[in-house]
Amino acid sequence: MRVDPIAMVLDDLLRLDDILACMVARRNMISVMPSGEGFKPEVDQIWDSIHRAMDSVFGVIGEYSQIGLGEMEFRLQDHEVLFYVFPDTESALVAIVPALANKGLLEVELENARREILKIMNPEVKTEIVISGYENKIMQELERLPKSVEEQNTITSQTISKKKDVPGASDFEAAVGMSRKWDAREAGREVAETAIRQLHKPPSFFLLFSTIHYEKHGGFQEFLNGVWDVLPKGTPLIGGTVAGFINPEGCYTRGATGLAVSYPNMDVAVGFGKNTKRNPKKAARQCADMIKMRLKNSNYEHKFILDIMSSGLIPQIPGMGRTMIIRSKIISKVSPRLFDFYGKIMQKGVCRQDELLKEFVQLLPDYSLIHGGATDDISQLRNYQFFNEYVSTNSICALAMNIDIPIRVKTTQGLTETNRTFKISSLDHSRRVIKSIDGKPAIPRLFEIMHLKMEDLNEHIFNKIFFLPIGWKSKDNKLVATVVGIFLGDYFYVMFQVDNVNATLLNLSGQGLLKSINENIIVTNNTQLGIFSSCGSRLLALGNHVYDVHNKLKDYFNDKPFLLYYVAGEGSYSSEHGLEYGNYTFNSAIFG
């Protein structure tokens, strides 16, 4: 029996951990359900209540969908119900998720499902998606996914040799590949094959980024093995796990993407440093030494590094588990030393990116750089780095190149300083635990500044705190923005070392995040490629409106390739702008 293709899209959604139920529905009718087991058991006890409430919402959808209603949602008990309306209809894609789910990432995949279903409904029609949001009407033509890889590897030395003979191929070639397959090894093969089949010559290097999902679907070593089933042996490769990515095909928070570049006028080296949380400066030296040794005889003028390192991990505290809220004031007083232990011995806790970056750029001052912290789905429970044939943790992996093409590096944020300023009165020895503000206990005073109540300090606080960053000016007068990482009694932990006690609450808006892209990117007729590291918090803030970012990149780059990946803690360095790092940043490396 033929499976309904819309049901197959729903099946794919239901494989995500936080999608408890999904369907295509309208008032008083469920049109399509997943073809398999239906809903997950967590929904059974509240389904009748949710179903009744859904009918009321569909009354609103029926009245307003014709004038551009795009999404709706409501919360019932510990669940949220999300409605993604099909334009100019009374029907919607509906998903039920836990109230504490990471909605920003789920929204991206729900938007992709809506687009795919619309393509199935209207296969001959170019579909305009109307999303209410930061830029009024957003029109996005549905993108075709790359063709799937055949069962066996079709890239051989013979086919590569033939590609080299294709006339008219430019010297600089870059191609982006992608896979949405669930099986780790198959996805690895596909992401490599869909990239390198577009090249006329073997790749000079390969960048590889994946969401965390393959951990449960074969594992990352199998994923990497699949890449090497296709990738020519010896190709320099680095990468890691990310929260999501944007490429010419679209925006994704599940899957894998890769970038293959081939260019003769370039020398490439990869570097690796281990134990980044235990000794970040030593890891930086290990990585830098490898790069220096391998590129010491290179004479190309322009020098660039892309690195990815392990981001912070929430530690497992005996008797408390993994938690970001520690209410005990007794434990909070010893927590700074406790977190030192977890960082140096267990390699959990804050990632110490700022310490590593400062050392790294001192060792390699002639190189511009964009940086990112490998992450999961922003849960900060695990992350992985890829270095040639190996999967690692708690490491830095870097790709360095000397090349005859200029590469422009720049960081923007899109945050604005407010008049809600404060002085950090006391810090712990690491300069990451803020103990008092304006001479008062830190958390009560911070909540006053943020206009929050102490009752807000519960499991939902991070849904609010992510959008209330704080910041200070570095010694170089650069704004360092950060989120509150962990609450410790009256103290709180931030991601970066505080080097200025005069701080301020920052304003975060979708318009500001999008404006920062316009402030960042300059594309000329000589532009060949764009690579971007961006903060996962920006992805959480924008949700499915991240397609606004995709539209901007498509407009800027036209038919040129680009790749943006979402990380946890990011930054850049250039001789022109110096070192910049923090949360909420948008970092570019534009070739040509």
Q: What is the pLDDT of residues 359-380, one digit of tens each?
A: 999 999 999 999 999 999 999 9
What pLDDT is attached to residue 159?
Answer: 29
Using the predicted structure, report yes or no on whether residue 152 has a pLDDT greater than 50. Answer: no
What pLDDT is attached to residue 170?
Answer: 61
Please name the amino acid found at residue 251. C
Q: Is the dihedral of CA 226, 231, 232, 237 positive or negative?
A: negative
What are the tens digits of pLDDT across the range 490-514? 999 899 999 999 999 999 999 999 9
Two structure tokens written together for 266: 């370039």
What strand order describes the sheet that includes 29-32?
A: 29-32, 21-26, 92-98, 79-85, 71-76
Strand pairing report for 484-488 and 491-494:
antiparallel
What are the tens digits of pLDDT across the range 514-537? 999 999 998 888 999 999 999 999
Mean pLDDT, range 423-437, rounded to an integer: 94
Report whether 539 contacts 550 (CB < 8 A): no
Report whether 276 contacts 140 (CB < 8 A): no
Residues 6+ positions from 281 with CB-CB distance below 8 Å = 355, 356, 359
Strand pairing report for 250-252 and 316-317:
unpaired
Two structure tokens written together for 360: 């790294």
> Which candidate, 115, 158, 110, places its Cα nearest to that of 140?
115
Residues 6+ positions from 287 with CB-CB distance below 8 Å = 271, 272, 273, 307, 360, 396, 397, 398
Report whether 8 contacts 15 (CB < 8 A): no
Question: What confidence category does residue 133 fall into, taking pLDDT thresholds of 50, 70 and 90?
Answer: very low
Domains present along the chain, CATH in parentheses: 5-121 (3.30.450.30), 170-320+349-408+563-581 (no CATH), 416-507 (no CATH)
Mean pLDDT, range 195-204, rounded to an integer: 96
Mean pLDDT, range 433-440, rounded to an integer: 96
3-state secondary structure 303-360: EEEEEEEECCECCEECCCEECCEECCHHHHHHHHHHHHHHHHHHCCECCCHHHHHHHH
Using the predicted structure, report yes or no on whether residue 251 has a pLDDT greater than 70. Answer: yes
What pLDDT is attached to residue 139?
Answer: 27
pTM: 0.89
| Separation CA 291–CA 26 (nearest Å) | 58
Using the predicted structure, report yes or no on whether residue 158 has a pLDDT greater than 50. Answer: no
Using the predicted structure, report yes or no on whether residue 154 has a pLDDT greater than 60. Answer: no
What are the tens digits of pLDDT across the range 229-243? 999 999 999 999 999
Q: Euclidean distance between the first and final Cα of the chain, in Å?
A: 53
What pLDDT is attached to residue 208?
Answer: 98
Using the predicted structure, report yes or no on whether residue 137 has a pLDDT greater than 90. Answer: no
**Neighbouring-strand partners of residue 473:** 479
Q: Concatenated DSSP letters for 468-537? A: S-EEEE-TTS-EEEE-EEEEETTEEEESS----SEEEEEE--HHHHHHHHHHH----TT--EEEEEEEHH
Strand pairing report for 502-507 and 205-210:
unpaired
Using the predicted structure, report yes or no on whether residue 131 has a pLDDT greater than 70. Answer: no
Report whether 297 contacts 236 (CB < 8 A): no
Mean pLDDT, range 84-98, rounded to an integer: 95
With residue 463 as reference, give the H or E element that holds it.
helix 461-465
What are the tens digits of pLDDT across the range 25-43? 999 888 999 987 678 999 9
Strand pairing report for 237-241 and 385-387:
antiparallel
| Separation CA 111–CA 545 (nearest Å) | 9
| Separation CA 536–CA 586 (nearest Å) | 10
What pLDDT is attached to residue 132?
Answer: 35
Question: Average pLDDT over the chain, rounded to whole?
Answer: 89
Mean pLDDT, range 252-262, rounded to an integer: 98
With residue 55 as reference, give the H or E element that holds it.
helix 47-64
| Separation CA 356–CA 279 (nearest Å) | 9
With residue 121 as reference, give the H or E element that holds it.
helix 103-121
195-198: which pairs have CB atoms within 8 A and are 24 or more residues apart? Answer: 195/258, 195/259, 195/260, 196/155, 196/230, 196/231, 196/232, 196/260, 197/154, 197/155, 198/173, 198/260
